[in-house]
Amino acid sequence: MEGEYIPTIGLEIHAELKTQTKMFCDSKNDPDEARPNVNVCPVCLAHPGSLPVINREAVRHVLKVGIALKSKLADYTEFDRKNYFYPDLPKGYQLSQYEYPLVSGGELAGVEITRVHLEEDTASSIHDESTGETMVDYNRGGVPLMELVTEPVIHSAEDAGNFARELQLLLRTLGVSNANMEKGEMRVEANVSIAKKGELGTKVEIKNLNSFNAMERAVRYEVERQKKLLDRGEKVVQQTLGWDDAKQATFPQRVKEGSADYRYFPDPDLPSLKLSELADFASDILEKEMPELPWERRARYEALGVKADDAGSFVREPYLGELFESSVQAFGAGDKGVLLAANYIANDLVSIMTALTKQSRDIDVRDTEIKSEIPISAENFNKIIQLVRDGKISSRTAKDLLSVYAKGEQSDPEQYVAANNLLQADMSDKLVDVVSAVLTKNPTVVADYKSGKAAALEFLFGQCMRELRGAANPASLREALQQELANL
């Protein structure tokens, strides 16, 4: 039996949109406001007689997401009331979109998109453990919220994670959401089922997923739990589960409502929109505002010869990406400096920065963003790359320089290199001095070499390189060494 089941996952992802004001009123949309209940007004507090107005910035944000996903943008759209009672929802209904989402279809990271629609966020409930009281902060109530739904076509926890990461990157690139999962700016719900090939099993929905890792672990856990149930001849109950990160297990939250329970109907206070009649939303205008998308940028870097993994980190990590972009500008496509820069950023600078931000190597770097700025100016970095590209310094010296500059050295790299005798071209005299000193110090090894022991040369070479702190061009050093030995 085991191994015959195929997992199926469909994701529902909410993202708080970055806008000046809330979805249906002019209260400020400020996720960083610490004081409770300051960004509120009669509309988002649902005072009788107040009327909502659609936020055009939020509509434009969702349409841009649709353009990036190559989806169908709605022509006709409307907002519906989703009725349910809870203190975080002062109107007694949430304004959402049911029949006519702004965006339908499309694809991201190989996953088909069902729809993307616009709705409003609920207020935040704050539970006070000591008093047992719950307080409500309406600052978040009415903030524009985008919901993206995928088709049930994902078949592994890893692919689900990749999809969610790619969406986060897209939202950030478009500037439509900060999409920080820890802050709840992006919330992922995973629907999970298992079935024999060609069938679709009963699904559960998992909530409370606060990170990509938590989502992947929850999906894996749930697939195993469902396998065990089916193997015992039991059934999966359709329900909503929570993820307990401390226990690393899912737990039942509630039996799922059907959509009939929400009594959706079009909101009579809001106009329906006919987008083709509204110049603001014309797709050719929006398209002109589209930035380079993550997959386009990765493809551009790979076309420059950058390894796929490195291109991925440059696009994911803004600091690395900015620096690499400055090298592309400085050297130009096709120049050896571009690939040298890519390697020094992806290897040397990343380890320097990893140490600086005290991230452990075990941490999944995809989840932890390198938060510190690169401690070296783009100008100095590119000068160091130029020196190594032109053969003026060795790669050993380049690595050393990066550490020195990361620790705060500010001087011009060319001057620094000259002042510290690190230029390979200036080294010929120094090479000869060091070589003769090493030969004088090691008469027995020299004798071994003369009697034909090849290993003796390697030892002497190593000694010289050590004296030179690795700064020598290996070929020049070898030549100088053989020259001096022949002269003896």
Residue of this chain nearest to ligand ADP (CB atom): 10
Nearer Cβ to ligand ADP (149/471):
149
Nearer Cβ to ligand ADP (142/152):
152
DSSP H or E segment with residue 119: strand 111-120
Amino acid symbol at 475: A
Look at strands 204-209 and 240-244 and give their pairing. parallel
Residue 12 within binding range of ligand ADP, rule CB under 6 A:
yes
Burial class from Cβ neighbours inside 10 Å (0-12, 13-18, 19+) for residue 34 reads exposed
Nearer Cβ to ligand ADP (205/296):
205
Whole-angstrom distance, CA of residue 345 vs CA of residue 20: 36
Whole-angstrom distance, CA of residue 69 vs CA of residue 66: 5
Whole-angstrom distance, CA of residue 60 vs CA of residue 38: 26
Q: Which neighbouring-strand residues pair with 205?
A: 191, 240
State the nearest-atom distance from the C-beta of 9 to ligand ADP, in Å. Answer: 6
State the nearest-atom distance from the C-beta of 347 to ligand ADP, in Å. Answer: 39
Residue 151 within binding range of ligand ADP, rule CB under 6 A:
yes
Residue from 11, 148, 181, 384 binding ligand ADP (CB under 6 A)? 11
Residue 117 within binding range of ligand ADP, rule CB under 6 A:
no
State the nearest-atom distance from the C-beta of 311 to ligand ADP, in Å. Answer: 30
Nearer Cβ to ligand ADP (11/384):
11
Residue from 203, 297, 298, 316 binding ligand ADP (CB under 6 A)? 203
State the nearest-atom distance from the C-beta of 213 to ligand ADP, in Å. Answer: 20
Residue 101 within binding range of ligand ADP, rule CB under 6 A:
no
Residue 112 within binding range of ligand ADP, rule CB under 6 A:
no
Nearer Cβ to ligand ADP (120/147):
147
State the nearest-atom distance from the C-beta of 262 to ligand ADP, in Å. Answer: 11
Whole-angstrom distance, CA of residue 344 vs CA of residue 383: 13
Helix-helix angle 443-450:454-467, to 10 degrees: 140
Look at strands 240-244 and 249-254 and give their pairing. antiparallel
The position carrying tokens 């990461």 is 165
Q: Given CA atoms 303, 308, 312, 318 in this order, what sign does their dihedral have?
A: negative
The position carrying tokens 């841009």 is 64
State the nearest-atom distance from the C-beta of 2 to ligand ADP, in Å. Answer: 20
Kindly state the tokens that stand for 437. Answer: 């000193």
Nearer Cβ to ligand ADP (96/191):
191
Residue 425 within binding range of ligand ADP, rule CB under 6 A:
no
| One character per residue 183-202, x = contact with ligand ADP (rule: CB under 6 A) | --------xxx------xx-
Number of residues that bind ligand ADP (CB under 6 A): 15
Residue 152 within binding range of ligand ADP, rule CB under 6 A:
yes
Contacts of 271 (CB under 8 A, 6+ apart): 54
Contacts of 58 (CB under 8 A, 6+ apart): 17, 19, 23, 118, 144, 146
Nearer Cβ to ligand ADP (219/431):
219
Residue 63 within binding range of ligand ADP, rule CB under 6 A:
no
Q: What is the 3-state secondary structure (H, E, C) of 26-90?
A: CCECCCCCCCCCCCCCCCCCCCCCCCCCCCHHHHHHHHHHHHHCCCEECCEECCEEEECCCCCCC
Residue from 21, 27, 29, 150 binding ligand ADP (CB under 6 A)? 150
State the nearest-atom distance from the C-beta of 12 to ligand ADP, in Å. Answer: 5
The position carrying tokens 């398209």 is 287
Nearer Cβ to ligand ADP (200/290):
200
Look at residues 406, 312, 396 and name the one whose alpha carbon lies nearest to residue 353: 406
Nearer Cβ to ligand ADP (263/371):
263
Whole-angstrom distance, CA of residue 141 vs CA of residue 478: 72
CA angle, 73 then 94 then 97, to 5°: 15
CA angle, 74 then 77 then 78, to 5°: 160
State the nearest-atom distance from the C-beta of 204 to ligand ADP, in Å. Answer: 9
Binding segment (CB under 6 A) for ligand ADP, from list 87-95, 145-153, 374-382, 383-391: 145-153
Residue 236 within binding range of ligand ADP, rule CB under 6 A:
no
Nearer Cβ to ligand ADP (181/273):
181
Nearer Cβ to ligand ADP (193/463):
193
Nearer Cβ to ligand ADP (177/193):
193
Binding segment (CB under 6 A) for ligand ADP, from list 103-111, 150-158, 267-275, 347-355: 150-158
State the nearest-atom distance from the C-beta of 92 to ligand ADP, in Å. Answer: 21
Kindly state the tokens that stand for 466. Answer: 């050590």
Q: Is 130 helix (H, G, I), strand (E, B) or coil?
A: coil
DSSP H or E segment with residue 188: strand 186-196
Residue 237 within binding range of ligand ADP, rule CB under 6 A:
no
State the nearest-atom distance from the C-beta of 153 to ligand ADP, in Å. Answer: 7
How far, in whole angstroms, is CA 351 from its chain's centroid?
18
Positions touching ligand ADP (CB under 6 A) are: 8-12, 149-152, 191-193, 200-201, 203
